[in-house]
Amino acid sequence: MVDKSQAYEDKFKGCIVGLSIGDALGMPVEWFTRSQIEEMGGISEYIDPINKFKDILKAGDYTDDTEQTLALANAFDKNGYNEDKFIENLLYWYNHNPIGIGPTSSKALENLSKGIKNGMPSETCGSAMRTAPLGLFYFDNLSKLVEKSISVTKLTHNSPNAIAGALSISFVVSKCLIHGIAHNTYDKYRLEKGGFDDGLGAIEKLRDVYEKDVGAFLNRDLEDDDISKYEHPEASHSTYSKIIEYNKNIIDKKRMEKGYDPILFIGERDIKRPYEYPEFRQTIEDCSHLLIDTSIEFSEKIVDILEICENAHNNNYDKKVILEGYDKLGTGINAIEAVPSAIFSFMISNSFESSLLNSINAGGDTDSIGSMCGALAGTYYGFNAIPKKWINNLSNHEHIINTSINLYNLKVMD
């Protein structure tokens, strides 16, 4: 049983609400090119749709990305994910005027209504956009996270790249929860203490955060075999041990070269973008390794994110360089483009708001990329970091919040 922590509930709420906000912000300009969005002044708030959703939806409304995520989030019970309940929820939605449903999901749900569960051979991101709840619920059980992500995807999208996309989102969401809690807890200690005497003191505190605070919530050993099984082969038995050792080496090197402790080190919020944290770079490497048996092509594309992030970092996150990154990754409907672009948006941004606006203003499949990025950023930064205007003007926001709380409460019972 896990600890009833407001911090963890904040992450659950942030994920589902963040996903819905990304969907609603991106919905009005879905399939607009980047230049078309720029010509209209960019997206920074909810607007009435000016595309296929015109006269159907209004500012703050969401589409199938959110609807299917809610269908999944409401398919959990005290034993975890319930496939029969998920199918029931999907079919209920399908039979009640499903706004924005794609052709793959439409045909797959038609088949499901007839008892056919083999899905369609589609490469799109229609499953990846909905799997975030799996990352939340199974963040402490990677074997089940993998198993359930695959089964949830195969119901509608039965292709290697679609499965790899869904695995990527659920896996990175799980890491956003763990690292977000650790960073938040670390910052709380740092503020209470007024800083640390030296870099190694800070690193020792971070060790405490990962091994005691996060470990206590998991109520298990962070070095469990089911985690190390999927990590990058070059990683030590525990990713967390590797992070600690990595930063100790940096500090020792700085001491030798400069004769003083570095100002910036793991956990300090002076480093604001997820890419700049070693644990998130390790997350991307681990994600790539996780996908090798599913899709080598997708695995290699995930690794590309690190190179593109590094280029953006080395150029001080210049807008032109970031946009070139989106061009390399692609912003289309296929999972192999939409998922990496959503992760890239999160990795190179320094807030929930900037993550979403970067993802949507890049153009393309804006609602799906925005929703997946919103799930990552919402999990990491938390519900309390989301602009209140976006929450209050989101359609059915109370229902969405309650759904995320219910999912959290079921996890507490797990």
CA–CA gap between residue 146 and residue 194 (Å, rounded): 41
Domain boundaries, the chain: 6-178+279-413
Q: Residue 254: is its pLDDT beyond 80?
A: no
CB-CB neighbours of 342 under 10 Å: 34
Residue 70 has pLDDT above 50, yes or no: yes
pLDDT at 357 over 70: yes
318 annotated ligand-binding residue? no
Average pLDDT, stretch 16-32?
98
pLDDT band (50, 70, 90) for residue 226: very low
Residue 264 above 60 pLDDT? no
Fold assignment, 6-178+279-413 = ADP-ribosylglycohydrolase fold (1.10.4080)
- Return d(Cα 309, Cα 325) in angstroms, integer: 8
pLDDT exceeds 70 at position 244 = no
For 96-149, the pLDDT digits (tens) are 988 888 889 999 999 999 998 889 999 999 999 999 999 999 999 999 999 999
94 pLDDT more than 60:
yes
Mean pLDDT of 63-72: 98
Q: pTM of the prediction?
A: 0.85
Measured N-to-C along each axis, helices 64-73 and 83-94 cross at an angle, to the nearest 10 degrees, of 150
Q: At residue 269, does pLDDT exceed 50?
A: no
Residue 370 has pLDDT above 50, yes or no: yes
Question: What is the tens place of the pLDDT at every residue in 152-204?
Answer: 999 999 999 999 999 999 999 999 999 998 887 766 665 565 554 444 455 55
Quickly state the pLDDT bin for 358 (edges 50, 70, 90): very high
Q: How far apart are the C-alpha atoms of 154 and 163, rounded to whole Å?
A: 7
Q: What pLDDT digit, counting tens, does each position of 337-354 carry? A: 999 999 999 999 999 999
Task: Consult the annotation and say whether 365 binds a ligand.
Answer: yes
Percent of the chain with pLDDT over 70: 78
Given a cut of 70, whether residue 218 has pLDDT beyond it is no
CA distance 337 to 92: 30
Q: Note the pLDDT of residue 203.
A: 55
- 23 known ligand binder: no
Q: Is the pLDDT assigned to residue 372 strictly greater than 80? A: yes
Q: How far is CA 92 from CA 95, 104, 315, in A?
A: 5, 17, 49
How confident is the model at residue 272, as a pLDDT?
75
Lowest mean pLDDT across 42-51, 128-137, 203-212, 398-407: 203-212
pLDDT tens string 296-339: 999 999 999 999 999 999 999 999 999 999 999 999 999 999 99
The residue-averaged pLDDT of 373-382 equals 98
Residue 390 has pLDDT above 60, yes or no: yes
**Is the per-residue pLDDT at 232 higher than 60?**
no
**pLDDT score of 327:** 98
- Is residue 164 a contact partner of residue 299, using CB atoms and an 8 Å limit? yes
Long-range contacts of 229-232 (CB under 8 A, 24+ apart): 229/142, 229/143, 230/142, 230/146, 230/286, 230/289, 230/290, 231/286, 231/289, 232/282, 232/285, 232/286, 232/288, 232/289
How many other CB atoms are there within 10 angstroms of residue 332's CB atom? Answer: 18
pLDDT for residue 275 is more than 70:
yes
SS3 76: strand
Q: What is the pLDDT of residue 191?
A: 55
**Confidence at residue 219, expressed as pLDDT on a 0 to 100 scale:** 47
Q: Name the residue with higher pLDDT: 21 or 238.
A: 21
Is 65 a known ligand-binding residue? Answer: yes
The pLDDT of residue 117 = 87
DSSP string, 128-196: GGG-HHHHHHTTT-HHHHHHHHHHHHHTTB-SHHHHHHHHHHHHHHHHHHHHHHHHHHHHHHHHHHTS-
Q: Is 63 annotated as a binding residue?
A: yes
Q: What are phi and psi of 288, to 5 degrees?
A: -60, -45
Environment class of residue 135 by beta-carbon count within 10 Å: exposed (0-12), middle (13-18) or buried (19+)? Answer: buried
